[in-house]
Chain A
Amino acid sequence: EDQVTQSPEALRLQEGESSSLNCSYTVSGLRGLFWYRQDPGKGPEFLFTLYSAGEEKEKERLKATLTKKESFLHITAPKPEDSATYLCAVQARTGFQKLVFGTGTRLLVSP
C-alpha cells in the first residue's frame, strides 16, 4: 500500500528563519511526487511536481527536492503569508492518477 509520512506535524518559525519540511514515501513505482499548499477551509493549491530522484524545483521562497525515499520542501526566509499547511502526495505508475496524501505540516510564520 502506498504511504506518505510528513514531518514535523507543525512548525513555528520567525520571519526570515529558514527551515525544511520532510515527506517520506513508499510507493509501488513513483510516477510523481506533488507538493500542495492548503489554507484553512480551502482546497489544496498546486505548488510542484517532482518525477525523479535528484530533481529540484523552485518557486519564490520555496524549493522542493526529491530522493528515492523522501522529498524536502525548503523554505528560505519565510514571510507570514507563507503560513499554511503544506501537503505532500504521491502518484503511483499503476492506478489511474489518484493521489495519496500525507497528513501535512502546519507552518506558522510569525512577524
Chain B
Amino acid sequence: EPEVTQTPSHQVTQMGQEVILRCVPISNHLYFYWYRQILGQKVEFLVSFYNNEISEKSEIFDDQFSVERPDGSNFTLKIRSTKLEDSAMYFCASTGQGYTEAFFGQGTRLTVV
C-alpha cells in the first residue's frame, strides 16, 4: 500500500542550527503539506504546496521556514535557525487529485537543545 515516508525519524540539533526534514509523498499525489505537533498539543497546519509553489501557510510558518520540492519525489521542510520552541513532531502529508483526505507520514521528531 502506498505510503508517505519521512526521514529522519528523530533529529537532535543545537539551537541556531539549520535542519532539513525530508518527505517522499505518495507518488501520484499533487498536494503536499507540513504539519507539526508539539508534545501533548494538537496537530497544527504549517504550509501547503501545489504546482511548485506555496498555496497556503499559517502564522507559524514565518521567514525561518521554507519548503521545496527539489525533484519529482522529495518534499523538504527547512528551518533556518532553530529555536527551542521548534521542538515537535513534524508530519508530512499528501493528497491526490480529486480527493480531500490527506495521508500522513510517521513523522520526524525534532529536538532542539
Q: How many of chain A's residues touch chain B, expressed as a range?
A: 20 to 34
Which residue in B41, B55, B89, B104 is a CB contact (below 8 Å) of A45? B104
- Of the listed stretches B13-21, B66-74, B78-86, B95-103, chain A binds B95-103
Given A91-B100, A101-B44, does the pair A96, B55 have CB atoms closer than 8 Å?
A: yes
Given A34-B101, A101-B43, does the pair A96, B91 have CB atoms closer than 8 Å?
A: no
CA distance A97 to B106 in the complex (A): 20
Interface of chain B, helix or strand or loop or mixed?
A: strand
CA distance A34 to B33 in the complex (A): 16
Given A34-B101, A46-B103, does the pair A96, B56 have CB atoms closer than 8 Å?
A: yes
Across the interface, do A46 and B43 meet the contact criterion of CB distance under 8 Å?
Answer: no
Show 15 A/B contacts (Cβ-Cβ < 8 Å), sorted by A: A34-B100, A34-B101, A41-B107, A41-B109, A43-B91, A43-B104, A43-B107, A45-B104, A46-B102, A87-B43, A91-B100, A96-B31, A99-B45, A102-B42, A104-B42
Give 8 closest A-B pairs by Cβ, nearest first.
A43-B104, A96-B56, A96-B55, A101-B43, A98-B45, A103-B42, A44-B104, A32-B100
Interface residues of A (CB under 8 A from B): 31-32, 34, 36, 41-46, 49, 87, 89, 91, 95-104
Interface residues of B (CB under 8 A from A): 4, 6, 31, 33, 35, 41-45, 48, 50, 55-56, 58, 89, 91, 93, 95, 100-107, 109
